[in-house]
Amino acid sequence: MKVSNNPLFIKRRVISFIILFVVIALALFAAQRAYRWYIDWQRYSGIERLEGKIKSGQDLFSSIIETGLERKQANEILNSLNGILDFTKLQIEDRYQIFVKDGLVQKFIYEKSPIDQYYVVRDEEGRLRAFKPGIELKKETIVKTFTIESSLFNAINKRGETDALVFSVVDIFAWDVDFNLDPRVGDTIRIYFEKYYLPDGKFVKYGRIQAAQYGGTKTYKAVYFPAKKGYYSLKGNPVAKMFLKSPLKFTGRITSYFGRRRDPFTSRHSGHRGVDFAAYYGAPIVATSKGSVTYSGWRGAYGRMVEVRHTNGYKTRYGHCTKIYVRVGQRVSQGEVIAGVGSTGRSTGPHCHYEVRLNNAVLNPLRFSQPVKKPLKGKDLKEFKKYSKTVWSKLF
């Protein structure tokens, strides 16, 4: 038998060719990488890096000039970014980097956040090209329980989460829980929520809270229903209501309730037509329901006051403000900041006098029966119950 026809010999030849092919491929790949590295080294060696950030009252052009870059180069950067970056939405403390070689900008990076960045790069033809790189985030779903020992902030921060999650929880239960008054030591909050990370594992932001339960003197449950883009109780009733429980978030305590009281100025007993929430000067006052501003200005004993008209004959009043941020006729949304806490008018200290009226008759803001929003019915309710059963099972 000839050696060339030996199966073992043929097998060895084939393996040798494969190995040779792999070695040549790897060598070519390494050479290509080395060439690219050499080109990049030639291009970027000796590069000067300039750093800057947007300051109060600055636009991007004046900020770049402040780094020492020539006006012509600054204009070239801005022209390339036109249509890519919205210059009207730049924020104070936004940061950027400029890489310059031989008097020419080679790269510009503007960072609004870890996931909101804008690049300008000089191409092989010598022109600056701007683009917004896509950043793929990793999503993680988590279930955590938080127990209140001193405050909601402390409970959530203690478990390694940030204030942003606190506000997300408050936004869900703000119609049923007054977070100035209701939370007690031992109350628990359990949530099933999303967190997003960069590829390197750095936390970027929270996603949606999919399900949540607040357990205090009463227990409140909520599940987010994507089909209706809102939170609902397990029975299909909307969590959102017409009025928030309080015009202040985290900053107020009640110093005077609705009803008869001793007037601090006359020492006589008289009717108090609202509820007083004490807070620090300038604390944000929010509209407890969407509506239209019908009064904005000085109103006798109220001091600086805002009145908002809502649907179905309801009105709300916010008195003793230090500053007012809305005008008559302006539409406001629920939770929008409309004024700051003050002590104007007949007031002994900074607080917000809050009133609710129905057809001009005063109501107790803490006890009146709110108009009920329509619950889910029929096919929607059936789909929600099926969906919520799956989501709720992940919470417990």
The overall average pLDDT reported for the chain is: 87
Taking domain 138-232, whether its CATH number is 3.10.450.350 is answered by yes
Distance between CA 51 and CA 68 in Å, rounded?
10
Please, which residues bridge with residue 314 across strands? 358
pLDDT given for residue 220 in this prediction: 95
Q: pLDDT category, 267, cuts 50, 70, 90?
A: very low
Judged against a pLDDT cut of 70, whether residue 263 lies above it is answered with no
Alpha-carbon distance of 286 to 42, in angstroms, equals: 58
- Classify domain 48-131 by CATH architecture: Roll (3.10)
Per-residue model confidence (pLDDT) at position 387: 95
pLDDT of residue 317 exceeding 60, the answer is yes
CATH superfamily ID and name for 253-363: Glucose Permease (Domain IIA) (2.70.70.10)
Amino acid 45: pLDDT: 58
- The contacts found for 322-327 with CB under 8 angstroms, 24 or more apart, are 322/281, 322/282, 322/350, 323/282, 324/296, 324/297, 326/293, 326/296, 327/293, 327/296
What is the percent of the chain with per-residue pLDDT over 70, rounded to a whole number? 90
pLDDT of 259 > 70? The answer is no
Work out the average pLDDT over 251-260. Answer: 66
Q: What is the rounded average pLDDT of the residues 17-22?
A: 78
Confidence of residue 257 (pLDDT cuts 50, 70, 90): confident
Average pLDDT of the residues in 352-381: 89
Express each pLDDT in 87-118 by its tens digit.
988 999 999 999 998 888 999 999 998 888 99
Q: What is the mean pLDDT of residues 368-396?
A: 91
Average pLDDT over residues 8-36: 76
CATH 3.10.450.350 domain range(s) in the chain: 48-131, 138-232
269 pLDDT band, cuts 50/70/90, is very low
% of the chain at pLDDT higher than 90: 58
User: Boundaries of CATH 2.70.70.10 in the chain?
Assistant: 253-363
The pLDDT value recorded for residue 212 is 97
- pLDDT average, residue stretch 43-54: 80
